[in-house]
Structure 1
């Protein structure tokens, strides 16, 4: 999202909340230590690139209001940024009438996974009785960024020539011909697409003042991709006042991306780990 647009939304929501006691503005962010696993690439050549475990960032702004017909609004951005390296070895051989050929290929692959997405969510609060809340809505997940692979390959071809060299040699005498070729290649996939998802969130208050349990998730419901993104944890109120409430959140998040032909990108990736965050409520 353009930074100016995002700033304008926050400013508008802030003034709206200042003039209407029943309108709530929520702004929050998370620092997320994600463990990465899985593979990605083209349809028939996906590679496990041993992505590194990285710290990721997530932030959001939400507006809740008392008008029952209109949905509440939530906008969130998540960045998934990781690098990886892997080794791929291929060997094959072939026979002809005059020679036997062995081919050995060593490839060093470097991967860059720089994907982000913005969630535009419209949701309704189905339940809020002071002890428990339940939200249900729809999310449009707008993907951006890119995924890139670059490979440096060394190909060693050994040809054993069976051609008979004359009566002074027996017919088992052959020549080894070794040829080494270095090559490099790179591929880059843009991840521009919008995915519809179901949004669900719930929070339960504990008897201990200021402490609550929350769970939140988005799930895709189209046939092209299989995506789920959920988090669960605890909120603790640090500041409660007439002007602003501030709470600390800790928990666990899991993002799974099974992409089928997202601009020629195929993947089966998982990012999971603990996070810590802060939420302010005006």
Structure 2
């Protein structure tokens, strides 16, 4: 969050110091209803935790200019948080802790990343545009697993002596009481990493309708992991004036995260679903 705030402030200050008719500032955000599915854990112990559908929020700031040798800049922030639960069918090691078969296991998957993108607008005819660039994706990932183990202890408590009936020490002169205690065991994996990605984006305007079709994606260039993040949808010009444009967009987004030993974290997860968003252009 702090990284994104700093970057957005820098972009606004940069734009304010350049003539308004030569530089465009874009601010946007989305509400995304994402459905998560897949497996995660440590090597040779990947489990489906029945991750829940959650509502996510992401936003971006971009600066475009007419200087041909300098790339345009875009910075976006995305959070993907979800939880799940399963009953373990086998012994499971995670985050330095070992959990037993039969344990009721709660998983929490919290991912946030900031994309720093430099790109060139290779083609723009007014009706069709195509952008190409590079993204550095800065990940922060925290995965936790928790189980609560309850134990019951039986205690024999001697009763008071009753003359002629019970004396202390008699096998019948005891009462049985039970006490229950619970222990919460948590395993955690925390990692942060920066990954290089290819950035592509295109927009096709539908003449005289105020509508346009757009597609945008980031795809991992090199690494042992498999990672992509793309979205497609429709954009509608609600306000189109000399000083400001206000657009509404609807679409579908998918994020794939298949990590191989990212600080001992292994995942094969996909988040996908519909979103609604706005873009303001100054």
Please report the TM-score for the alignment, with normalisation by the length of structure 1: 0.81
Count of residue pairs the alignment pairs up: 244
Q: Secondary structure at the match of 1:224?
A: coil
Check the 8 A contact 2:127/2:207 in 1, yes or no: no
- Structure 1 counterpart of 2:130, from 122, 131, 134: 134
Shift of 1:246: 0.3
Check the 8 A contact 1:198/1:219 in 2, yes or no: yes
Determine the structure 1 residue equivalent to 2:94.
none
Shift of 1:135: 0.2
Check the 8 A contact 1:106/1:154 in 2, yes or no: no
Q: 1:193 to 1:107 in 2, by over 3 A?
A: same
Determine the structure 2 residue equivalent to 1:12.
13
Q: Secondary structure at the match of 1:51?
A: coil
CA separation in 2, counterparts of 1:198 and 1:65? 21
Structure 1: unaligned runs, 5 residues or longer? 92-103, 156-181
Structure 2: unaligned runs, 5 residues or longer? 92-99, 152-181
Determine the structure 1 residue equivalent to 2:272.
272
CA separation in 1, counterparts of 2:148 and 2:47? 15
1:222-237 matches, cutoff 5 A:
222-237=222-237
Check the 8 A contact 2:7/2:75 in 1, yes or no: no
- Structure 2 counterpart of 1:150, from 146, 150, 162: 146
Shift of 1:242: 1.4
CA deviations on 1:203-259 (whole Å, 9 max, x unpaired) are 001123311000000000213211000000000000011111000000000000001
CA separation in 1, counterparts of 2:270 and 2:225? 14
Check the 8 A contact 2:15/2:63 in 1, yes or no: no
Determine the structure 2 residue equivalent to 1:248.
248
Shift of 1:193: 0.3
Q: Secondary structure at the match of 1:11?
A: helix
Check the 8 A contact 1:28/1:279 in 2, yes or no: yes
Determine the structure 1 residue equivalent to 2:110.
114
Q: Secondary structure at the match of 1:279?
A: strand
Shift of 1:189: 1.2
Check the 8 A contact 2:15/2:23 in 1, yes or no: no
What is the root-mean-square deviation in Å for CA atoms of aligned residues? 2.1
Please report the TM-score for the alignment, with normalisation by the length of structure 2: 0.81
Structure 1 position 188 matched with structure 2 position 184: no
Q: 1:208 to 1:139 in 2, by over 3 A?
A: same
Determine the structure 2 residue equivalent to 1:200.
200
CA separation in 2, counterparts of 1:279 and 1:89? 47
Q: Secondary structure at the match of 2:9?
A: helix
Determine the structure 1 residue equivalent to 2:82.
82
Shift of 1:184: 5.2
Shift of 1:154: 7.9
CA separation in 1, counterparts of 2:187 and 2:40? 12
1:57-68 matches, cutoff 5 A:
57-68=57-68
Determine the structure 2 residue equivalent to 1:175.
none
CA deviations on 1:88-137 (whole Å, 9 max, x unpaired) are 2249xxxxxxxxxxxx9411110111110000000000100011000000
Shift of 1:29: 0.1
